[in-house]
Structure 1
Amino acid sequence: MSEKTPTVYDVAAHAGVSIATVSRVLRRPDDVREATRAKVLASVRELGYLPSASARGLAARRTGVIGIFFPGFDAAWEIPALSDAEDGLVRMVRDSDDQWGQRPPDLYFDAVLRGAELEAWRRGLVLMVGVGRGADPEAVVRDIAGRVDGLVVLARSVPDEVLSSIAHRIPVTLLAGPRRGDDFDHVSVANSEGMRALTQHLISTLGVSAPRYVGGPADSPDDVERYAGYCEALRLAGVDPATVPPLRAEFRREIARELAQQLLAEGTLPRALICANDQMALGILDVLNRAGIAVPGEVIVTGFDGIDAGRASVPPLTTVFQPMETLGREAVRMMADRLDAPESEPVSKRLPVTVLLRGSSEG
């Protein structure tokens, strides 16, 4: 007959503390005195105790798990397939800037997720990540929503009616984008203000009369706000935005390369390309550098996000840095607060951004 599985009651008796103290040690160890924490953890190890998520959830009506849903991964189209081939444990290659597909993907979703993980860990919560695949993310969203206490979702990545249905059962926090008549908590960044400031700098300080905007998907809430900031800067300079129609590259580096190659072939490269994210700006730099086009001497290129790859590009990329890690942390903080006070009023928070002037615009 197998030995009896130890319970939280056994740990409390073994350590000579209350069940509540054992729970605090396992959920919020920093809230417990070091000596008590050490005694409880020694009992946990000696007894071989493992916390039961299902039992804990039944007792507290919570699982201690928060979900976060992204519609996809940054640069997912560039991720190579795994191989079973074993052709040696060491390879030697000559590294060069010409190898477009070999840059590390330290990108927007990575930074947001890192922040969410940090804040969940700090609060003694577990983070469950769901990533959409295919044209319909509803099945993934509903599946993860059935397993968690609350759900963080990128704005406009899930149909409104699906989110409304989920919100009847668990709280929902939206990342990015303005409030649109909903009752969700929102956390976003100063997209329009940041893009307006950058565009005004190019026009007023650098003398670019009509910079061209390179946008992502037209229905992206981030892109909508950034394009609005760009248009506002044009109007303030006396330029009608309708005379400078936007270009589109879907927030993707390889599509931006194709766009840049098309502009080169047509001879229609503008004096400045203001990109709605860094990935597109880096794709354009790839092509201009290979074609021998001087940046910023002949063409100015700017981005938005502030990913690490922009600092290491040639030349370093002028961009609007958004606090992506803080965005993830704030989303989890909002969710934790909502779980503690479910009847409180909806909250919206906009985080500040920083325009980083670098070599791709400043020479």
Structure 2
Amino acid sequence: MAKPTVYDVAARARVSIATVSRVLRRPDLVKDSTKEQVLAAVRALGYVPSASARGLAGRTTGVIGLYLPAIDGVDEALDVVDGDAPAVARVVRDIPDSGASRVRDLYYDEVLRGAQLEAWRQGFVLTIGVGHGADPERMVRDMAGRVDGLLIVARSVPEELLGQLSGSIPIVLIAGPRHGDSFDHVGVANAEGMRALTAHLVSNLGVRDPVYVFGPEGSPDDAERYAGFVAALADAGVDASALRTLRGDFRRESGRAVASSLIAAGGALPRALVCGNDQMALGVLDVFGASGVCVPSDVLVSGFDGIEETRLSSPRLTTVRQPMEELGRAAVRAMVDRLDAPDGAPISRRLPVEVLLRESTESSANAT
């Protein structure tokens, strides 16, 4: 029996081939009666859309690519038992705070989830590339040949490569500010969020010398957050350039290293540690808690992102919550808009954030 085609669906539903494609790709653009007419024909014929045929006909693949930089927790593959050999169950003692456990990058988890959900809603498939241990240029070039457009985390691949690829496919950059380039950007109010949080520490809690804990060099998000930190201090008449800063890399282990170095150095601890992301702040809490340093009585600790684990930490972590899932959704929507209007002017969309005051900065004396 011959496999049903889009032509068969169109003929049975008494609509054009373009209408069938629109129902399957962008059903929100089709009136309900027409949509049901086409879907009824699809069900009756058992039609399954062919991505390869669709690509040949419309020079599209129906696929959007998302390239992510290295993600925490990507490790060596687990040995797999083949054939009839018995599987192995190991019993191990899990030592708390050993640093040996796998740590997932919860920020990218949420962004990825949002992008997947929105791609599905828009009628696209999302394919993922992760740069851990790989040549980013080779991976991104390979992805570019298989997708209609690429979502790329800002600064995760060389700008020269982006310029080369943008002549062939649309690119949407996730996170970070625009720097006069011609790409579409989707980000969050990093500077504004960190400015509001720092202003609270300075104006309401009386902290005059907070210590900023940087993430990795070259992070556009961290650069914006530090700019907000500096602006809040300037508002209060404090010169940020005279204050101490520390360097991490956005991983929880680097936050642990920062806290350990502060304790090992002896002397007074900073009154407040303002961390560039939640993972580092959680690492700080790990070490302080195990070492008897009381948060917030001895040290105030804050983060940025609003990952779920901050709500479960002890104490709960004060943070700036950004809409991570919505960021992934917004990036996909920007890509769909660009595919629909390839010659439009570059767009820049910034999503709002929310400062969440919790017990890592709010003692009973200053809680509101």
Q: Same fold judged by TM-score > 0.5?
A: yes
1:104 deviation in Å?
6.9
- 8 Å Cα contact 1:119/1:332 also seen in 2: yes
Q: Secondary structure at the match of 1:207?
A: coil
Counterpart of 1:157 in structure 2 is 156
The Cα of 1:11 is off from its aligned counterpart by 3.8
The Cα of 1:88 is off from its aligned counterpart by 4.7
Instruction: Indicate conservation of the 8 Å contact 2:9/2:38, yes or no.
Output: no
The CA deviation at 1:152 is 1.0
1-structure distance, mates of 2:203, 2:68: 38
**Residue 131 of structure 1, CA deviation:** 1.2
Residue of structure 2 in register with 1:42 after alignment: 43
Structure 1 position 82 matched with structure 2 position 47: no
Look up the match of 2:145.
Answer: 146
CA offset digits 1:42-97 (Å, max 9, x no partner): 2242xxx4322122122222211111111122x235x57424473459x8x99997
* Aligned CA distance change for structure 1 residues 134 and 84 (closer, same or farther; 3 Å): closer
Matches of 1:35 and 1:146, distance apart in 2: 34
Measure, in 1, the Cα distance between the counterparts of 2:58 and 2:76: 43
Which residue identity is paired with 1:41? V
Amino acid in structure 1 at the alignment position of 2:308: D
| Alignment-derived partner of residue 6 in structure 2 | 8
Q: What is the correspondence of 1:283-362 to structure 2 with a 5 Å cutoff?
A: 283-362=283-362
Q: Could you tell me the TM-score, scaled by structure 1's length?
A: 0.90
TM (norm. structure 2) is 0.89
Distance between the aligned counterparts of 2:196 and 2:161, measured in 1? 36
SS at match of 1:174: strand
Distance 1:324 1:5, change over 3 A: same
Against the structure 1 CA distance between its residues 44 and 287, is the aligned structure 2 distance closer, same or farther, given a 3 Å change threshold?
farther
Measured after TM superposition, the shift of residue 186 of structure 1 is: 0.8
Alpha carbons 2:67, 2:130 under 8 Å: kept: yes
User: Which residue type is aligned with residue 4 of structure 2?
Assistant: P
| Mapped partners of 2:132, 2:76: distance in 1 | 17
Moved more, 125-134 or 345-354: 125-134
Q: 1:315 to 1:94 in 2, by over 3 A?
A: farther
- The CA deviation at 1:291 is 0.7
Do 2:10 and 2:38's aligned partners in 1 also have CA atoms closer than 8 Å? no
Q: CA separation in 1, counterparts of 2:262 and 2:199? A: 24
CA RMSD in angstroms, aligned pairs only? 2.4
Pick aligned residue for 2:17 from 2, 19, 35: 19
The Cα offsets for residues 225-261 of structure 1, whole Å up to 9 and x where unpaired, read as 1111111122222222222132111101112111111
Q: CA 1:199 to 1:254, structure 2 compared with 1: closer, same or farther past 3 Å?
A: same
Contact 1:14/1:43, CA 8 A, preserved across alignment: no
Match of 2:84 in 1: none
CA distance in 1, matches of 2:59, 2:39: 28
After superposition, the C-alpha distances for 1:245-286 in whole angstroms (9 at most, x for unaligned) are: 321111011121111111101125211100000000000000
Question: What is the DSSP-based 3-state SS (H/G/I as helix, E as strand, rest coil) of the residue aligned with 2:284?
Answer: helix
Other structure's SS at 1:26 match: helix
Q: Distance in 2 between matches of 1:18 and 1:135?
A: 45
The 2-side partners of 1:64 and 1:179 are apart by: 28
Q: CA 1:303–1:335 in structure 2 vs 1: closer, same or farther (change >3 Å)?
A: same
* TM-superposition CA deviations, 1:106-163 (whole Å, max 9, x none): 6111111111111111111111111113374100111101111111111111111100
